[in-house]
């Protein structure tokens, strides 16, 4: 009976390993990464050396073939000390999931071993005027002999400039009866002619992860770099998000756990009115509520990851629920953490200020939480 509802030992061992690595190799650089808005190369090196940069890549393609829950644990534990660094494994999964779902064997063999070996991948779906309304994208791809020629701009591309590979959605049939059926998916290499990366966005949080536009100016790629059949790109893109929204939940979960851990340590040490702040009942109630929400979020994130792993029919609903709930919890918990630190929490001398800024994006990217609620409601009404 004791084995009925718990993570397997290998998942707990994985957590202990990645937590140790994160605390020793990633946490010491997190403040500098944020302060100088620089890429966390120390984290990349540590994750690559340990094989945690993309543990979801199948074993026969050079990876560890880890399941979706394991991938979430890695992202969660890295985010606990540095949200920017957690986007290395998270976005590697996002950028390669379309290939895993619909790519040819040739495309898989071209890209995935490279990612497992330390290269990075990004995901190009959004445009300035086609964020939540993805079907209204304007980027075009035209077949010219044995080449696809891409023209357009993608926006809000995480880790752009650092990534070597880019999964990109583009319109291949502008006259399709339904706009969604005229979109295809492609793999673009950073050295492909006509591809370039724009300047970095100036952001509120996750400053260590560059966010840029990417440009296609008569960008040519081999014809066999299409992912799946023409016209199936948006279907693949949306299926990808079912698999990766739990990873954003995991990132949010890690940020929240890091803020709670920091808060507990601070209120136990801080003295007011002749006793530790932790001894005040009002503070204890805040800590209890924070921990309770985090625990609930953790179970939902893992349940969603497991649902995607087994192809559960409800995976779309639970993935949206996990991303929404965990990111809302992260925002609530980090705000409370800053409050518990008092005036000190409002300074950059303590981690909770950074964590609060980092948490906000988890409510926005990979589909805003308002869009997630629409997705969930639509599935409920269909059922």
Annotated active-site positions, please?
Answer: 366
Which of 267, 256, 254, 229 minimizes the C-alpha distance to 329?
256
**Burial of 151 by CB count in 10 Å (0-12 exposed, 13-18 middle, 19+ buried)?**
middle
Tokens linked to 307: 């649902």
Strands 195-200 and 140-144: unpaired
Say which DSSP state 201 is in.
P
d(CA 284, CA 296): 18
Gap between the Cα atoms of 265 and 257, Å rounded: 12
Q: Strand, helix or coil at 2?
A: coil
CA atoms within 13 A on the CB side of 10: 5
Residue 360 has phi, psi (to 5 degrees) of: -60, -40
Query: In this structure, are residues 319 and 369 in contact, taking their beta carbons and an 8 Å threshold?
Result: no
């Amino acid at each position: 009976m004791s084995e009925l509802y718990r993570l397997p030992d290998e998942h707990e061992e994985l957590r202990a390993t990645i937590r140790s690595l994160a605390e020793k190799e990633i946490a010491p650089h997190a403040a500098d990464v944020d302060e100088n808005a620089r890429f966390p190369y120390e984290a990349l090196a540590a994750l690559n050396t340990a094989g945690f940069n993309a543990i979801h890549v199948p074993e026969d393609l050079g990876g560890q073939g880890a399941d979706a829950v394991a991938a979430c644990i890695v992202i969660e534990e890295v985010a606990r000390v540095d949200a920017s660094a957690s986007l290395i494994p998270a976005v590697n999964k996002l950028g390669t999931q379309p290939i895993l779902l619909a790519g040819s064997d040739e495309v898989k063999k071209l890209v995935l071993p490279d990612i497992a070996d330390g290269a990075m991948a990004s995901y190009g779906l959004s445009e300035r005027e086609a964020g939540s309304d993805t079907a209204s994208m304007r980027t075009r791809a035209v077949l010219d002999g044995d080449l696809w020629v891409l023209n357009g701009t993608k926006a809000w591309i995480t880790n752009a400039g650092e990534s070597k590979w880019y999964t990109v959605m583009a319109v291949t049939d502008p006259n399709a009866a339904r706009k969604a059926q005229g979109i295809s998916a492609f793999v673009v290499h950073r050295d492909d002619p006509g591809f370039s990366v724009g300047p970095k966005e100036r952001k509120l949080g996750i400053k260590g992860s560059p966010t840029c536009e990417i440009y296609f100016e008569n960008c040519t790629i081999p014809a066999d770099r299409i992912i799946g059949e023409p016209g199936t790109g948006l279907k693949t893109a949306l299926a990808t998000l079912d698999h990766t929204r739990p990873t954003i939940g995991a990132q949010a979960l890690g940020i929240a756990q890091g803020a709670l851990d920091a808060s507990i340590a601070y209120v136990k040490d801080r003295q007011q009115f002749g006793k530790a702040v932790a001894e005040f009942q009002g503070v204890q109630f805040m800590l209890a509520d924070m921990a309770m929400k985090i625990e609930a979020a953790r179970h939902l994130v893992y349940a969603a990851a497991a649902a995607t792993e087994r192809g559960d029919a409800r995976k779309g609903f639970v993935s949206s629920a996990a991303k929404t709930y965990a990111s809302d919890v992260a925002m609530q918990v980090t705000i409370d953490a800053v409050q518990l630190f008092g005036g000190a929490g409002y300074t950059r001398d303590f981690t909770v200020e950074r964590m609060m800024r980092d948490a906000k994006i988890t409510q926005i990217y990979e589909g805003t939480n308002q869009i997630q609620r629409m997705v969930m409601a639509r599935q409920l009404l269909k059922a």
